[in-house]
């Protein structure tokens, strides 16, 4: 039985990926919070994808059901965390198939962050009308979002290595 097909090894990789996704998401939130305060021109204007999902879920509630803004904000935050965690998990599974010499956190993490940015800003965010497509964003917004996503990817990859080795 090869190491990659050992169920315990797959679980080990998946747990490291989940933890790494959480760490990368924390970096993304920290950078976004900083940028909202000190460089707001780098934060795209538009609907929050997390809040959009919460509002869609609220449509399933019986008429007249009130949801407090704090609960909405918490649920929106949870969707962002779940999204970042999913990317960490996917990262861990892709990493299994990568040769060891191609797994440096800056390279592989940079690729992960760029892929996450592209999936959102070139794909589902414009498709769902939650934000302008990348080609319609101004340079500051484009640079800010891409930088935050690449940093998130690098943090995810670095955290993955640390968590994986510690487990």
**CB of 61 within 8 A of CB of 140?**
no
> What are the C-alpha distances in Å from 71 to residues 25, 62, 68, 90?
20, 17, 5, 28
Task: Check residue 155 and give its pLDDT.
Answer: 97
Question: Per-residue pLDDT tens for 129-143?
Answer: 887 788 888 999 999
pTM: 0.86
Q: 10 Å Cβ neighbour count for 111?
A: 17
Task: Check residue 151 and give its pLDDT.
Answer: 97
3-state SS record for 26-49 = HHHHHHHHHHHHHCHHHCCCCCCH
Is 97 or 3 the better-scoring residue by pLDDT?
97
Nearest residue to 115 (alpha-carbon basis) of 69, 157, 82 = 157
pLDDT-derived band at 108, boundaries 50, 70, 90 = confident
Nearest residue to 91 (alpha-carbon basis) of 71, 73, 111 = 111
Question: Per-residue pLDDT tens for 33-64?
Answer: 999 999 999 998 877 888 888 888 898 999 88
Half-sphere exposure of 136 (CA within 13 A, CB side): 11
């Amino acid at each position: 039985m090869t190491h990659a097909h050992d169920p315990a090894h797959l679980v080990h990789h998946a747990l490291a990926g989940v933890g790494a996704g959480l760490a990368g998401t924390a970096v993304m939130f920290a950078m976004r919070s900083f940028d909202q305060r000190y460089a707001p021109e780098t934060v795209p204007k538009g609907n929050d994808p997390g809040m959009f999902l919460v509002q869609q879920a609220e449509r399933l509630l019986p008429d007249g059901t009130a949801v407090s803004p704090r609960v909405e904000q918490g649920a929106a935050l949870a969707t962002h965390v779940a999204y970042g965690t999913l990317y960490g998990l996917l990262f861990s599974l892709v990493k299994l198939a990568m040769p060891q010499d191609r797994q440096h956190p800056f390279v592989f993490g940079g690729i992960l962050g760029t892929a996450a940015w592209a999936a959102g800003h070139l794909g589902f965010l414009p498709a769902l009308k939650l934000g302008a497509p990348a080609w319609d964003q101004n340079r500051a917004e484009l640079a800010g979002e891409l930088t935050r996503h690449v940093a998130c990817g690098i943090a995810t990859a670095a955290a993955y290595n640390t968590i994986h080795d510690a487990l």
